[in-house]
Amino acid sequence: MGLRVGSLEITSRIASHAVQPNLSPLPNVRNIIAVGSGKGGVGKSTTAVNLALALAADGARVGVLDADVYGPSVPMMLGLSGRPDSPDGKTIEPMRAHGVEAMSIGLLVDQDTPMIWRGPMATSALTQLLEQTRWGGEDGLDYLIVDLPPGTGDIQLTMAQKIPVAGAVIVTTPQDVATLDAKKALKMFEKVEVPVLGLIENMAVHVCSNCGHAEHIFGQGGGERMAAQYGVPLLGSLPLEVAIREQGDAGTPVVAAAPESPAAQAYRDAARRVAIELALRPRVTPSISASLL
């Protein structure tokens, strides 16, 4: 009896999904995922960066766009410095760190330079960063994570209207005042017809590093109640850990610094839920994304 030995190669392909009416996906980005919050201080940027790293760890081509032109934090969180290259004087090469591409106004100006811009100027700057960055090279990106500014004002609304977004993720903490503002962010995305893929509850529980006692410092179940109220998935509950803050400040987020840790696994689980929810959305027609399909 002979033994036949062969090989099996498995590949995956991430499709482009539909965006808002009257907008078209970028030619070199399959899916833009906006990460927003109704208020600051809920860990939105930390969540966005770690989600991007988690998606890249699963084999996707991923970029991060820091859309907070007034308070850019992505360069510090990814440990980036210096200026990006512009090979033709018209387009910009994204910078790379920990396996993802990144672009931020913080990479184009001095760190201590304030952006004293009115809304239209900020929106124009973001649009230029989005459209003039050479995302993904010849292969393009599977996901571009856009870290939106906190809040739901005119700037955020205009950005959500102009960026072709396949889905949005809302970040909140469990406390009532945070979920109250997160509901406004959810309603903003609904207004511009961006599908909300789900909620991520950040700082859900703190486990003492000395005694192991678990304490819900910001309350318990707020994200779950909000998800049930609005009929959207709770994509994950992330811990409140000093290491997450320290590693982000040091430029090596927890998914890269400690990939086997429970915190990193929580981010990876949430990122996979995001990818699953997006995969359930309608795909664009082949004619729109022929260069990427």
Which amino acid is located at 59 in the chain? Answer: G
42 annotated to bind ligand: yes
Hey, what amino acid is at 50?
N
User: Average pLDDT, stretch 280-290?
Assistant: 69
Judged against a pLDDT cut of 90, whether residue 101 lies above it is answered with: yes
165 assigned to a ligand binding site: no
pLDDT at residue 142 tops 90: yes
38 is in an annotated binding site: yes
Which pLDDT value is given to residue 252?
Answer: 95
Has residue 103 got a pLDDT over 90?
yes
Pairing, β 29-36 against β 214-215: unpaired
Q: What is the pLDDT of residue 224?
A: 85
- pLDDT, tens digit, 9 for 90 and up, residues 214-234: 666 666 777 888 888 889 999
In this model, does residue 10 exceed pLDDT 90? no
Provide the whole-model pTM.
0.89
Most confident of 9-18, 155-164, 212-221, 225-234: 225-234
Q: 39 a known binding residue? A: yes
**Residue 82, annotated as binding a ligand:** no
Where is average pLDDT lowest: 44-58, 172-186, 250-264, 270-284?
Answer: 172-186
Is residue 293 pLDDT above 70, yes or no?
A: no
The C-alpha atoms of residue 140 and residue 138 are separated, in whole angstroms, by 6
Residue partners of 274: CB distance under 8 A and separation at least 6? 33, 51, 55, 167, 169, 197, 198, 235
Q: How far apart are CA 23 and CA 21, in angstroms?
A: 5
- Strand residues in the chain grouped as ranges (E): 29-36, 62-66, 95-97, 100-104, 141-147, 167-172, 196-201, 206-207, 214-215, 234-237
**Percent over 90 (pLDDT), the chain:** 50
End-to-end CA distance of the chain: 43
Q: Does residue 292 carry a pLDDT above 60?
A: no
pLDDT value, residue 5: 60
CA–CA distance, 143 with 277 (Å, rounded to integer)? 13
Does residue 138 carry a pLDDT above 50? yes
Q: What mean pLDDT, rounded, does the chain reach?
A: 86
- The pLDDT assigned to 285 comes to 66
Domain annotation for the chain: domains and CATH numbers: 29-279 (3.40.50.300)
H or E stretch covering 277: helix 262-279
205 is in an annotated binding site: no
Confidence of residue 290 (pLDDT cuts 50, 70, 90): very low
Q: What pLDDT is recorded for position 289?
A: 44
**Is 90 exceeded by the pLDDT of residue 153?**
no
Q: What is the pLDDT of residues 37-76, one digit of tens each?
A: 877 788 899 999 999 999 999 999 999 999 988 889 999 9
Flag whether pLDDT at 188 surpasses 60: yes
Q: Is 43 labelled a binding residue?
A: yes
| 63 has binding-site annotation | no
